[in-house]
Protein backbone atom coordinates (compact mmCIF):
# COMPACT_ATOMS: atom_id res chain seq x y z
CA UNK A 1 0.00 0.00 0.00
CA UNK A 2 2.87 2.40 0.67
CA UNK A 3 4.00 2.01 -2.93
CA UNK A 4 0.73 3.51 -4.14
CA UNK A 5 1.02 6.64 -2.06
CA UNK A 6 3.54 8.65 -4.13
CA UNK A 7 1.66 7.57 -7.24
CA UNK A 8 -1.57 8.98 -5.80
CA UNK A 9 0.22 12.20 -4.90
CA UNK A 10 1.48 12.58 -8.45
CA UNK A 11 -1.92 11.76 -9.90
CA UNK A 12 -3.70 14.35 -7.80
CA UNK A 13 -1.08 16.93 -8.56
CA UNK A 14 -1.20 16.28 -12.30
CA UNK A 15 -4.97 16.71 -12.24
CA UNK A 16 -4.47 20.01 -10.48
CA UNK A 17 -1.85 21.24 -12.93
CA UNK A 18 -3.98 20.10 -15.85
CA UNK A 19 -6.96 22.04 -14.54
CA UNK A 20 -4.88 25.19 -14.15
CA UNK A 21 -3.39 24.80 -17.59
CA UNK A 22 -6.85 24.26 -19.04
CA UNK A 23 -7.71 27.79 -18.00
CA UNK A 24 -5.13 28.97 -20.49
CA UNK A 25 -6.88 27.83 -23.64
CA UNK A 26 -4.25 28.36 -26.31
CA UNK A 27 -1.05 26.35 -26.50
CA UNK A 28 1.88 26.60 -28.87
CA UNK A 29 0.71 23.54 -30.79
CA UNK A 30 -2.25 25.45 -32.24
CA UNK A 31 -0.28 27.23 -34.92
CA UNK A 32 -3.09 26.79 -37.43
CA UNK A 33 -5.16 29.50 -35.79
CA UNK A 34 -5.23 32.55 -38.01
CA UNK A 35 -3.95 35.90 -36.86
CA UNK A 36 -6.11 38.89 -37.48
CA UNK A 37 -4.49 42.11 -36.47
CA UNK A 38 -7.02 44.72 -37.42
CA UNK A 39 -5.17 47.94 -37.01
CA UNK A 40 -6.81 49.59 -40.02
CA UNK A 41 -10.50 49.14 -39.31
CA UNK A 42 -12.51 49.40 -42.51
CA UNK A 43 -15.65 50.99 -41.04
CA UNK A 44 -15.51 53.59 -38.31
CA UNK A 45 -18.99 54.99 -38.88
CA UNK A 46 -20.82 52.64 -36.51
CA UNK A 47 -18.69 53.34 -33.41
CA UNK A 48 -18.95 57.07 -34.07
CA UNK A 49 -22.74 56.97 -34.33
CA UNK A 50 -22.99 54.90 -31.16
CA UNK A 51 -20.85 57.21 -29.04
CA UNK A 52 -22.81 60.49 -28.75
CA UNK A 53 -26.08 59.08 -27.38
CA UNK A 54 -24.40 56.91 -24.81
CA UNK A 55 -21.38 58.96 -23.91
CA UNK A 56 -23.10 60.75 -21.07
CA UNK A 57 -24.66 57.61 -19.68
CA UNK A 58 -21.52 55.55 -19.68
CA UNK A 59 -19.16 55.98 -16.78
CA UNK A 60 -15.96 56.27 -18.81
CA UNK A 61 -16.91 59.55 -20.40
CA UNK A 62 -13.26 60.45 -20.89
CA UNK A 63 -12.69 57.34 -22.96
CA UNK A 64 -15.85 57.93 -24.98
CA UNK A 65 -14.90 61.56 -25.53
CA UNK A 66 -11.42 60.68 -26.69
CA UNK A 67 -12.76 57.91 -28.86
CA UNK A 68 -15.20 60.36 -30.36
CA UNK A 69 -12.53 62.80 -31.34
CA UNK A 70 -10.14 60.12 -32.48
CA UNK A 71 -12.91 57.88 -33.83
CA UNK A 72 -11.53 57.93 -37.29
CA UNK A 73 -8.22 56.44 -36.17
CA UNK A 74 -9.49 54.20 -33.32
CA UNK A 75 -9.59 50.97 -35.20
CA UNK A 76 -10.96 47.73 -33.92
CA UNK A 77 -8.27 46.79 -31.44
CA UNK A 78 -6.32 43.58 -31.85
CA UNK A 79 -7.13 39.98 -31.09
CA UNK A 80 -5.28 37.68 -28.70
CA UNK A 81 -2.07 36.42 -30.18
CA UNK A 82 -2.28 32.62 -29.96
CA UNK A 83 1.50 32.42 -29.74
CA UNK A 84 1.72 34.91 -26.90
CA UNK A 85 3.93 33.77 -23.99
CA UNK A 86 2.26 32.25 -20.96
CA UNK A 87 1.04 35.05 -18.69
CA UNK A 88 0.78 33.86 -15.10
CA UNK A 89 -0.68 37.13 -13.79
CA UNK A 90 -3.50 37.01 -16.30
CA UNK A 91 -4.20 33.38 -15.39
CA UNK A 92 -4.36 34.25 -11.69
CA UNK A 93 -6.74 37.15 -12.31
CA UNK A 94 -8.89 34.93 -14.52
CA UNK A 95 -9.08 32.34 -11.75
CA UNK A 96 -10.23 34.77 -9.09
CA UNK A 97 -12.85 36.47 -11.29
CA UNK A 98 -16.45 35.51 -11.76
CA UNK A 99 -17.66 34.07 -15.05
CA UNK A 100 -20.99 33.31 -16.67
CA UNK A 101 -20.08 29.75 -17.64
CA UNK A 102 -17.95 27.33 -15.63
CA UNK A 103 -14.82 26.37 -17.55
CA UNK A 104 -13.89 22.73 -17.02
CA UNK A 105 -11.23 21.63 -19.51
CA UNK A 106 -10.21 23.04 -22.88
CA UNK A 107 -13.36 23.99 -24.75
CA UNK A 108 -15.70 22.17 -22.38
CA UNK A 109 -17.92 24.53 -20.41
CA UNK A 110 -20.61 23.84 -17.86
CA UNK A 111 -23.28 26.20 -19.12
CA UNK A 112 -25.33 28.32 -16.77
CA UNK A 113 -28.50 30.38 -17.18
CA UNK A 114 -28.09 33.98 -18.20
CA UNK A 115 -30.52 36.66 -17.01
CA UNK A 116 -29.93 40.10 -18.48
CA UNK A 117 -31.77 43.39 -18.41
CA UNK A 118 -31.13 46.40 -20.60
CA UNK A 119 -33.16 49.54 -19.81
CA UNK A 120 -35.33 50.15 -22.82
CA UNK A 121 -34.77 46.71 -24.27
CA UNK A 122 -36.30 44.52 -21.58
CA UNK A 123 -35.19 41.22 -20.13
CA UNK A 124 -33.37 38.40 -21.82
CA UNK A 125 -33.31 34.87 -20.47
CA UNK A 126 -30.95 32.43 -22.15
CA UNK A 127 -28.20 29.94 -21.48
CA UNK A 128 -24.54 30.49 -22.23
CA UNK A 129 -24.85 27.46 -24.51
CA UNK A 130 -26.74 29.64 -27.00
CA UNK A 131 -23.59 31.71 -27.55
CA UNK A 132 -21.85 28.68 -29.09
CA UNK A 133 -18.47 29.18 -27.46
CA UNK A 134 -15.18 27.97 -28.85
CA UNK A 135 -11.73 29.03 -27.74
CA UNK A 136 -11.22 30.87 -24.45
CA UNK A 137 -14.94 31.20 -23.81
CA UNK A 138 -15.54 33.51 -26.78
CA UNK A 139 -18.98 33.05 -28.25
CA UNK A 140 -19.21 32.69 -32.01
CA UNK A 141 -22.72 34.13 -32.23
CA UNK A 142 -24.37 37.18 -30.72
CA UNK A 143 -27.86 36.87 -29.27
CA UNK A 144 -29.91 40.10 -29.38
CA UNK A 145 -26.75 42.14 -29.10
CA UNK A 146 -25.20 40.12 -26.28
CA UNK A 147 -21.84 38.43 -26.80
CA UNK A 148 -19.78 36.08 -24.65
CA UNK A 149 -16.21 37.33 -24.22
CA UNK A 150 -13.76 35.22 -22.20
CA UNK A 151 -16.67 33.59 -20.39
CA UNK A 152 -18.39 36.87 -19.49
CA UNK A 153 -21.44 38.38 -21.15
CA UNK A 154 -21.00 41.74 -22.84
CA UNK A 155 -23.37 43.84 -24.89
CA UNK A 156 -23.01 45.70 -28.15
CA UNK A 157 -23.51 49.42 -27.50
CA UNK A 158 -24.75 50.25 -30.98
CA UNK A 159 -28.57 50.09 -31.09
CA UNK A 160 -28.39 49.41 -34.82
CA UNK A 161 -26.94 45.96 -34.17
CA UNK A 162 -29.32 43.33 -35.64
CA UNK A 163 -31.50 41.35 -33.25
CA UNK A 164 -31.60 37.60 -32.97
CA UNK A 165 -28.72 35.29 -33.68
CA UNK A 166 -25.86 36.95 -35.58
CA UNK A 167 -22.49 35.31 -36.22
CA UNK A 168 -19.62 37.40 -34.87
CA UNK A 169 -15.86 37.31 -35.10
CA UNK A 170 -13.46 36.62 -32.29
CA UNK A 171 -13.46 39.59 -29.90
CA UNK A 172 -10.58 42.02 -30.17
CA UNK A 173 -9.45 44.42 -27.50
CA UNK A 174 -7.58 47.62 -27.04
CA UNK A 175 -5.96 49.02 -23.92
CA UNK A 176 -6.27 52.72 -23.23
CA UNK A 177 -5.31 54.76 -20.18
CA UNK A 178 -8.13 56.62 -18.50
CA UNK A 179 -7.32 58.85 -15.53
CA UNK A 180 -4.02 57.09 -15.09
CA UNK A 181 -5.56 53.63 -15.04
CA UNK A 182 -5.52 51.03 -17.77
CA UNK A 183 -8.89 50.36 -19.35
CA UNK A 184 -9.46 47.52 -21.80
CA UNK A 185 -12.21 48.01 -24.38
CA UNK A 186 -13.55 45.01 -26.28
CA UNK A 187 -14.74 45.03 -29.88
CA UNK A 188 -16.45 42.45 -31.99
CA UNK A 189 -16.98 42.33 -35.72
CA UNK A 190 -20.18 41.26 -37.44
CA UNK A 191 -20.58 41.55 -41.22
CA UNK A 192 -17.22 43.38 -41.32
CA UNK A 193 -18.51 46.19 -39.11
CA UNK A 194 -16.70 46.83 -35.87
CA UNK A 195 -18.86 47.19 -32.77
CA UNK A 196 -17.79 48.32 -29.33
CA UNK A 197 -18.78 46.14 -26.38
CA UNK A 198 -20.06 47.11 -22.95
CA UNK A 199 -19.20 45.14 -19.84
CA UNK A 200 -21.91 44.56 -17.26
CA UNK A 201 -22.87 47.26 -14.76
CA UNK A 202 -20.88 47.18 -11.55
CA UNK A 203 -21.69 49.37 -8.57
CA UNK A 204 -18.13 50.14 -7.56
CA UNK A 205 -18.25 53.79 -8.56
CA UNK A 206 -15.40 53.41 -10.98
CA UNK A 207 -13.04 52.15 -8.31
CA UNK A 208 -12.05 49.08 -10.29
CA UNK A 209 -12.93 50.41 -13.69
CA UNK A 210 -16.63 49.69 -13.40
CA UNK A 211 -19.72 51.83 -13.53
CA UNK A 212 -23.22 51.98 -14.95
CA UNK A 213 -23.32 50.59 -18.47
CA UNK A 214 -26.08 49.70 -20.87
CA UNK A 215 -27.14 46.46 -19.23
CA UNK A 216 -27.51 44.73 -15.88
CA UNK A 217 -26.38 41.16 -15.40
CA UNK A 218 -28.48 39.13 -12.98
CA UNK A 219 -27.33 35.74 -14.24
CA UNK A 220 -26.53 32.63 -12.30
CA UNK A 221 -22.78 32.98 -12.56
CA UNK A 222 -20.06 30.66 -11.31
CA UNK A 223 -20.13 32.23 -7.84
CA UNK A 224 -23.91 32.07 -7.53
CA UNK A 225 -23.92 28.44 -8.63
CA UNK A 226 -21.27 27.54 -6.04
CA UNK A 227 -23.13 29.41 -3.31
CA UNK A 228 -26.33 27.54 -4.14
CA UNK A 229 -24.40 24.28 -4.17
CA UNK A 230 -22.84 24.95 -0.75
CA UNK A 231 -26.17 26.04 0.71
CA UNK A 232 -27.81 22.87 -0.58
CA UNK A 233 -25.01 20.75 0.81
CA UNK A 234 -25.13 22.42 4.22
CA UNK A 235 -28.91 22.13 4.35
CA UNK A 236 -28.74 18.43 3.50
CA UNK A 237 -25.98 17.82 6.07
CA UNK A 238 -27.67 19.61 8.93
CA UNK A 239 -31.07 18.19 8.17
CA UNK A 240 -29.54 14.73 8.53
CA UNK A 241 -27.86 15.78 11.79
CA UNK A 242 -31.07 17.29 13.18
CA UNK A 243 -33.01 14.17 12.29
CA UNK A 244 -30.38 12.07 14.06
CA UNK A 245 -31.13 13.90 17.30
CA UNK A 246 -34.76 12.83 17.15
CA UNK A 247 -34.27 9.27 15.94
CA UNK A 248 -31.31 8.55 18.19
CA UNK A 249 -32.43 10.53 21.19
CA UNK A 250 -30.38 9.77 24.31
CA UNK A 251 -27.79 7.66 22.52
CA UNK A 252 -24.20 8.65 21.85
CA UNK A 253 -23.74 10.69 18.66
CA UNK A 254 -22.36 8.83 15.66
CA UNK A 255 -20.87 9.71 12.29
CA UNK A 256 -21.80 13.05 10.75
CA UNK A 257 -23.80 13.97 13.84
CA UNK A 258 -20.69 13.48 15.95
CA UNK A 259 -18.55 15.70 13.72
CA UNK A 260 -21.07 18.50 13.46
CA UNK A 261 -21.73 18.39 17.19
CA UNK A 262 -18.05 19.18 17.78
CA UNK A 263 -18.26 22.30 15.64
CA UNK A 264 -21.59 23.45 17.02
CA UNK A 265 -20.58 23.06 20.66
CA UNK A 266 -17.29 24.77 19.85
CA UNK A 267 -19.10 27.81 18.44
CA UNK A 268 -21.48 27.82 21.39
CA UNK A 269 -18.94 27.33 24.18
CA UNK A 270 -15.86 29.12 22.82
CA UNK A 271 -17.35 31.86 20.68
CA UNK A 272 -20.91 32.71 21.68
CA UNK A 273 -21.03 32.34 25.47
CA UNK A 274 -17.69 34.04 26.34
CA UNK A 275 -18.40 37.01 24.07
CA UNK A 276 -22.14 37.48 24.28
CA UNK A 277 -22.87 35.99 27.68
CA UNK A 278 -26.47 36.19 28.73
CA UNK A 279 -28.96 35.96 25.85
CA UNK A 280 -26.57 34.30 23.43
CA UNK A 281 -29.25 31.96 22.05
CA UNK A 282 -30.70 34.74 19.90
CA UNK A 283 -27.53 35.02 17.90
CA UNK A 284 -26.58 31.36 17.65
CA UNK A 285 -28.44 30.69 14.37
CA UNK A 286 -26.65 33.53 12.61
CA UNK A 287 -23.24 32.67 14.07
CA UNK A 288 -23.55 29.02 13.09
CA UNK A 289 -24.86 29.87 9.61
CA UNK A 290 -22.11 32.33 8.88
CA UNK A 291 -19.41 30.00 10.19
CA UNK A 292 -20.43 27.03 8.09
CA UNK A 293 -21.25 29.13 5.03
CA UNK A 294 -17.81 30.78 4.99
CA UNK A 295 -16.07 27.51 5.85
CA UNK A 296 -17.87 25.61 3.08
CA UNK A 297 -17.17 28.30 0.50
CA UNK A 298 -13.51 28.58 1.51
CA UNK A 299 -13.04 24.82 1.23
CA UNK A 300 -14.83 24.66 -2.13
CA UNK A 301 -12.49 27.36 -3.39
CA UNK A 302 -9.53 25.17 -2.54
CA UNK A 303 -10.64 22.25 -4.70
CA UNK A 304 -8.89 22.52 -8.07
CA UNK A 305 -11.64 20.96 -10.17
CA UNK A 306 -15.35 21.38 -10.80
CA UNK A 307 -17.52 21.84 -8.70
CA UNK A 308 -14.82 23.52 -6.65
CA UNK A 309 -12.28 26.04 -7.87
CA UNK A 310 -14.73 28.92 -7.57
CA UNK A 311 -13.34 31.91 -5.75
CA UNK A 312 -16.52 32.89 -3.91
CA UNK A 313 -15.37 34.30 -0.56
CA UNK A 314 -12.61 36.06 -2.44
CA UNK A 315 -15.28 38.16 -4.10
CA UNK A 316 -15.69 41.42 -2.28
CA UNK A 317 -19.43 41.67 -2.97
CA UNK A 318 -20.13 38.48 -1.06
CA UNK A 319 -18.00 39.37 1.94
CA UNK A 320 -19.59 42.81 1.85
CA UNK A 321 -23.07 41.30 2.17
CA UNK A 322 -21.97 39.18 5.13
CA UNK A 323 -20.40 42.21 6.80
CA UNK A 324 -23.53 44.29 6.17
CA UNK A 325 -25.68 41.62 7.80
CA UNK A 326 -23.39 41.60 10.85
CA UNK A 327 -23.57 45.41 10.92
CA UNK A 328 -27.37 45.36 10.79
CA UNK A 329 -27.71 42.74 13.52
CA UNK A 330 -25.23 44.57 15.75
CA UNK A 331 -26.94 47.92 15.53
CA UNK A 332 -30.52 46.66 15.53
CA UNK A 333 -29.90 44.76 18.74
CA UNK A 334 -28.00 47.57 20.41
CA UNK A 335 -29.44 48.60 23.74
CA UNK A 336 -29.46 51.98 25.44
CA UNK A 337 -26.13 51.36 27.10
CA UNK A 338 -24.50 50.62 23.75
CA UNK A 339 -25.77 53.74 22.02
CA UNK A 340 -24.90 55.84 25.04
CA UNK A 341 -21.33 54.64 25.02
CA UNK A 342 -21.01 55.06 21.28
CA UNK A 343 -22.53 58.48 20.78
CA UNK A 344 -22.54 60.29 24.09
CA UNK A 345 -20.24 58.60 26.52
CA UNK A 346 -20.71 59.63 30.17
CA UNK A 347 -17.94 61.19 32.18
CA UNK A 348 -16.21 63.03 29.34
CA UNK A 349 -16.24 66.83 28.69
CA UNK A 350 -18.82 67.75 26.04
CA UNK A 351 -16.35 69.56 23.78
CA UNK A 352 -14.07 66.54 23.61
CA UNK A 353 -17.02 64.31 22.84
CA UNK A 354 -18.34 66.44 19.97
CA UNK A 355 -14.97 67.14 18.40
CA UNK A 356 -13.12 63.87 18.72
CA UNK A 357 -14.68 60.98 20.53
CA UNK A 358 -18.10 60.73 18.92
CA UNK A 359 -16.80 61.10 15.33
CA UNK A 360 -14.19 58.46 16.05
CA UNK A 361 -16.77 56.12 17.55
CA UNK A 362 -19.14 56.60 14.61
CA UNK A 363 -16.27 55.96 12.23
CA UNK A 364 -15.44 52.82 14.19
CA UNK A 365 -19.06 51.75 13.91
CA UNK A 366 -18.65 51.49 10.15
CA UNK A 367 -15.02 50.54 10.09
CA UNK A 368 -15.42 47.34 12.10
CA UNK A 369 -17.66 45.52 9.60
CA UNK A 370 -15.59 47.06 6.81
CA UNK A 371 -12.47 45.35 8.14
CA UNK A 372 -14.45 42.12 8.52
CA UNK A 373 -15.23 42.31 4.81
CA UNK A 374 -11.71 43.16 3.71
CA UNK A 375 -9.98 40.64 5.95
CA UNK A 376 -11.87 37.66 4.54
CA UNK A 377 -11.64 38.93 0.97
CA UNK A 378 -7.92 39.69 1.11
CA UNK A 379 -6.93 36.43 2.81
CA UNK A 380 -8.79 34.20 0.39
CA UNK A 381 -7.90 36.13 -2.76
CA UNK A 382 -4.23 36.36 -1.84
CA UNK A 383 -4.18 32.61 -1.15
CA UNK A 384 -5.71 31.81 -4.52
CA UNK A 385 -3.30 34.07 -6.37
CA UNK A 386 -0.33 32.50 -4.62
CA UNK A 387 -1.47 28.95 -5.41
CA UNK A 388 -2.10 29.73 -9.08
CA UNK A 389 1.31 31.44 -9.29
CA UNK A 390 3.10 28.44 -7.82
CA UNK A 391 1.42 26.04 -10.21
CA UNK A 392 2.23 28.44 -13.05
CA UNK A 393 5.90 27.97 -12.15
CA UNK A 394 5.71 24.67 -14.01
CA UNK A 395 4.62 26.38 -17.18
CA UNK A 396 7.03 29.26 -16.82
CA UNK A 397 9.99 26.95 -16.35
CA UNK A 398 8.88 24.66 -19.13
CA UNK A 399 8.06 27.61 -21.41
CA UNK A 400 4.42 26.39 -21.61
CA UNK A 401 5.22 22.97 -23.02
CA UNK A 402 8.23 23.68 -25.19
CA UNK A 403 10.97 22.40 -22.94
CA UNK A 404 10.69 19.06 -21.16
CA UNK A 405 13.73 19.59 -18.95
CA UNK A 406 12.35 22.94 -17.91
CA UNK A 407 9.04 21.34 -17.04
CA UNK A 408 10.82 18.81 -14.83
CA UNK A 409 12.64 21.58 -12.99
CA UNK A 410 9.37 23.45 -12.70
CA UNK A 411 7.70 20.40 -11.18
CA UNK A 412 10.54 19.96 -8.69
CA UNK A 413 10.25 23.58 -7.63
CA UNK A 414 6.50 23.86 -7.74
CA UNK A 415 5.20 20.67 -6.10
CA UNK A 416 6.65 21.18 -2.59
CA UNK A 417 5.80 24.89 -2.60
CA UNK A 418 2.24 24.31 -3.75
CA UNK A 419 1.61 21.51 -1.26
CA UNK A 420 2.94 23.73 1.53
CA UNK A 421 0.81 26.68 0.53
CA UNK A 422 -2.28 24.51 0.11
CA UNK A 423 -1.80 23.20 3.66
CA UNK A 424 -1.59 26.78 4.91
CA UNK A 425 -4.67 27.69 2.88
CA UNK A 426 -6.58 24.85 4.54
CA UNK A 427 -5.67 26.36 7.90
CA UNK A 428 -6.62 29.82 6.63
CA UNK A 429 -10.00 28.52 5.44
CA UNK A 430 -10.91 27.34 8.94
CA UNK A 431 -9.25 30.27 10.67
CA UNK A 432 -10.94 32.99 8.62
CA UNK A 433 -14.36 31.42 9.14
CA UNK A 434 -13.65 31.25 12.87
CA UNK A 435 -12.37 34.84 13.01
CA UNK A 436 -15.37 36.23 11.14
CA UNK A 437 -17.71 34.39 13.50
CA UNK A 438 -15.77 35.35 16.62
CA UNK A 439 -15.58 39.03 15.73
CA UNK A 440 -19.29 39.07 14.90
CA UNK A 441 -19.94 37.54 18.33
CA UNK A 442 -17.71 40.19 19.94
CA UNK A 443 -19.66 42.98 18.25
CA UNK A 444 -22.99 41.40 19.28
CA UNK A 445 -21.69 41.12 22.83
CA UNK A 446 -20.70 44.77 22.88
CA UNK A 447 -24.13 45.74 21.57
CA UNK A 448 -26.11 43.79 24.15
CA UNK A 449 -23.86 44.38 27.11
CA UNK A 450 -25.62 45.46 30.30
CA UNK A 451 -24.34 48.42 32.25
CA UNK A 452 -22.08 47.38 35.11
CA UNK A 453 -21.28 50.60 36.89
Region near other proteins per CB under 8 A, out of 26-34, 165-173, 328-336, 368-376: 368-376
Q: How far is the CB of 369 from other proteins (least distance, A)?
A: 13
Instruction: Tell me the H-state helices in 56-188.
Output: 61-69, 71-74, 88-96
Looking at beta carbons only, is 396 or 435 nearer to other proteins?
435
Looking at beta carbons only, is 114 or 287 nearer to other proteins?
287
Q: How far is the CB of 374 from other proteins (least distance, A)?
A: 4
Contact residue for other proteins among 18, 328, 431, 451 (CB under 8 A) = 431
Q: How far is the CB of 120 from other proteins (least distance, A)?
A: 32
Q: How far is the CB of 398 from other proteins (least distance, A)?
A: 26
Backbone φ and ψ of 438, nearest 5°: -65, -45
Name which of 387, 441, 402 is nearest 95 in CA terms: 387
Residue 140 and residue 132 in contact, taking contact as beta carbons nearer than 8 Å: yes
Contact residue for other proteins among 378, 417, 421, 422 (CB under 8 A) = 378
User: What's the CA gap between 84 and 87, in Å, rounded?
Assistant: 8
Looking at beta carbons only, is 309 or 432 nearer to other proteins?
432
Q: How far is the CB of 298 from other proteins (least distance, A)?
A: 13
- For residue 293, how many other CB atoms are within 10 A of its CB? 20
Region near other proteins per CB under 8 A, out of 61-69, 79-87, 372-380, 389-397: 372-380
Q: What's the CA dihedral at 103, 107, 110, 115 to 10 degrees?
A: 90
Residue 112 and residue 150 in contact, taking contact as beta carbons nearer than 8 Å: no
382 is an interface residue for other proteins by CB under 8 A: yes
Kindly state the DSSP code that residue 99 receives in the 8-state scheme.
-
- For residue 63, how many other CB atoms are within 10 A of its CB? 18
Looking at the DSSP assignment, which residues form a beta bridge with residue 370? none
Site string for other proteins, 316-355 (x = CB under 8 A): ----------------------------------------
379 is an interface residue for other proteins by CB under 8 A: yes
CA triple 124-313-222, angle to 5 deg: 30
Region near other proteins per CB under 8 A, out of 12-20, 122-130, 185-193, 374-382: 374-382
Name which of 358, 351, 304 is nearest 95 in CA terms: 304
Looking at beta carbons only, is 43 or 382 nearer to other proteins?
382
417 is an interface residue for other proteins by CB under 8 A: no
Residues binding other proteins: number (CB under 8 A): 15
46 is an interface residue for other proteins by CB under 8 A: no
Backbone φ and ψ of 187, nearest 5°: -130, 155
Region near other proteins per CB under 8 A, out of 14-22, 52-60, 163-171, 429-437: 429-437
Q: How far is the CB of 45 from other proteins (least distance, A)?
A: 37
Contact residue for other proteins among 381, 392, 414, 418 (CB under 8 A) = 381
CA triple 354-357-363, angle to 5 deg: 105
426 is an interface residue for other proteins by CB under 8 A: no
375 is an interface residue for other proteins by CB under 8 A: yes
Site for other proteins in 111-150 (CB under 8 A): none
Contact residue for other proteins among 374, 396, 417, 446 (CB under 8 A) = 374
Q: Residue 95 to residues 22, 304, 310, 381: CA-CA distances in angstroms?
A: 11, 10, 8, 10
Site string for other proteins, 173-212 (x = CB under 8 A): ----------------------------------xx----
Region near other proteins per CB under 8 A, out of 139-147, 195-203, 259-267, 424-432: 424-432
Looking at beta carbons only, is 355 or 431 nearer to other proteins?
431
Helix (H, G, I), strand (E, B) or coil at 238: helix
Looking at beta carbons only, is 41 or 372 nearer to other proteins?
372
Q: What's the CA dihedral at 29, 34, 40, 41 to 10 degrees?
A: -120
Name which of 43, 98, 99, 32 is nearest 74 in CA terms: 43
Helix (H, G, I), strand (E, B) or coil at 245: helix
Its sign, for the CA torsion 370, 376, 379, 384, is negative
Looking at beta carbons only, is 21 or 368 nearer to other proteins?
368
Name which of 32, 156, 23 is nearest 95 in CA terms: 23
Q: What is the CA radius of gyration of the chain?
A: 26
Contact residue for other proteins among 52, 371, 402, 450 (CB under 8 A) = 371
Which residues would be at the binding site for other proteins (CB under 8 A)? 207-208, 371, 374-375, 377-379, 381-382, 428, 431-432, 435, 438
Amino acid sequence: MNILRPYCFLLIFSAFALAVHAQDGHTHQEGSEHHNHDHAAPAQESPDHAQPEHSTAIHGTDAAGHADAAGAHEGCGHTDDPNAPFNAGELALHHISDANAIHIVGDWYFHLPVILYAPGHGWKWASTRSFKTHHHGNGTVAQDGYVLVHGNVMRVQDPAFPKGEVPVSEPSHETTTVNGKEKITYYVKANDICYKLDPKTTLDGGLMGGGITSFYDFSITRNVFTMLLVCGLLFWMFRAVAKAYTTRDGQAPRGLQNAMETFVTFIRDEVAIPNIGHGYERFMPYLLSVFFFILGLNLFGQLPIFPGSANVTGNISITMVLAVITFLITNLSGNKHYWEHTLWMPGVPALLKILILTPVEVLGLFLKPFTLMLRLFANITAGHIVIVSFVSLIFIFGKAGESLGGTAVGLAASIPLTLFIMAIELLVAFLQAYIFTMLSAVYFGMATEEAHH
